[in-house]
Chains A and B, each alone.
Chain A
């Protein structure tokens, strides 16, 4: 059993693949059905962001644990244009890609830990963690 998987996000079909792999790993760490759905939805939003805004990137799916409980950590990384204003990007309804503007802000509400790291011109890294209850 591998504890970390890395997948490329280069096409629309990869977004579907990411969803499926995240679902499998979420089941593995014993997330409840609702929590599985939440983390898979967040993964779908973030993978699409990576594709739409940065033209592609990759995701790392890791099973983590802190002794008492297990969890799933997803790291989306790209070398795209980056996000100039992080505060604004996390606001509901704010979008530059013609979407609903819920990708970042919405997925933050779906996970337990959310970390956004971006530098204009260098790329963006989003790390999220969902713990099993």
Chain B
């Protein structure tokens, strides 16, 4: 079974899904990520789905579950690069991915995490 590699950049884990995953592959990724968050003590997880052609309810659920798990482990999950056609289809399907933060691309996803970290460190009231 093909496994999706998990990259570590500072205290952020980055996953880029590049292949059409089987359901077991999706579940394996979910477990691998939870393990990796605990092991590395990462503060953020970025899942890049810019190469993913469809997101069905199974993958949708995986994304929501990863977000919930990492929140419990004090890490924030950001899903980046969802294609317009995929987003339209997900809305039609009835999946809103509540609780999952999103960004247009990897760069903006990283910026979103940095913003949050800065806010934590400085905590300047506005």
Which chain A residues border B56 with CB–CB below 8 Å?
41, 44-45, 48
Q: How far is the CB of B68 from chain A (nearest CB, A)?
A: 14
* Interface-facing stretch out of A63-71, A74-82, A98-106, A117-125: A98-106
Taken together as a complex, chains A and B put the C-alpha atoms of A105 and B22 apart, in Å, by: 22
Whether B94 and A48, one on each chain, are in contact in the complex, defined by CB atoms closer than 8 angstroms, is: no
Indicate if A16 sits at the interface (CB-CB under 8 A).
yes
Per-position binary interface string of chain B over residues 77-98, scored 1 when its CB falls under 8 Å from any chain A CB and 0 otherwise: 0000001111011001111000
Q: Name the one of B21, B24, B60, B85 contacting A34, with C-beta atoms under 8 angstroms.
A: B85
A38-B92 in contact (CB<8A):
yes
Given contacts A12-B23, A15-B23, A48-B23, contact A102 B57 (CB under 8 A): yes
- In this assembly, does A28 line the interface, its C-beta being within 8 Å of a C-beta of chain B? no
Task: Say yes or no: B94 contacts A37, CB within 8 Å.
Answer: no
Query: Which residues of chain A are within 8 angstroms of B53 by Cβ–Cβ distance?
Result: 23, 37, 40
Of B21, B57, B61, B94, most buried by chain A (CB within 10 Å of CB) is B57
Q: Determine if B54 is an interface residue (Cβ-Cβ < 8 Å).
A: yes
Q: Is A24 an interface residue (CB 8 A)?
A: no
| B: interface residue count bin | 20 to 34
Chain A interfacial residues counted at CB < 8 A: 27
Q: Shortest CB–CB separation between residue A67 and chain B, in angstroms?
A: 27
Q: Would you call A13 an interface residue if the criterion is a C-beta within 8 Å of the partner chain's C-beta atoms?
A: yes
Q: Does A92 contact B (CB under 8 A)?
A: yes
User: B31 in the interface, Cβ–Cβ < 8 Å?
Assistant: no
Q: Which B residues lie within 8 Å of A16 (CB)?
A: 20-22
Q: Tell me the complex Cα distance, A12–B10, Å.
A: 35
Judge whether A109 and B57 touch: CB under 8 Å.
no
How close is A118's CB to chain B, nearest CB, in angstroms? 20
A12 pairs with B24, CB closer than 8 A: yes
Contacts from B to A (Cβ < 8 Å): 20-24, 53-58, 60-61, 83-86, 88-89, 92-95
- 7 pairs of residues in contact across A and B, judged by CB atoms under 8 Å: A12-B23, A45-B57, A45-B93, A99-B58, A100-B57, A100-B60, A100-B61
Nearest first, the 5 A-B pairs at minimum CB distance are A106-B93, A37-B85, A44-B56, A102-B57, A34-B85
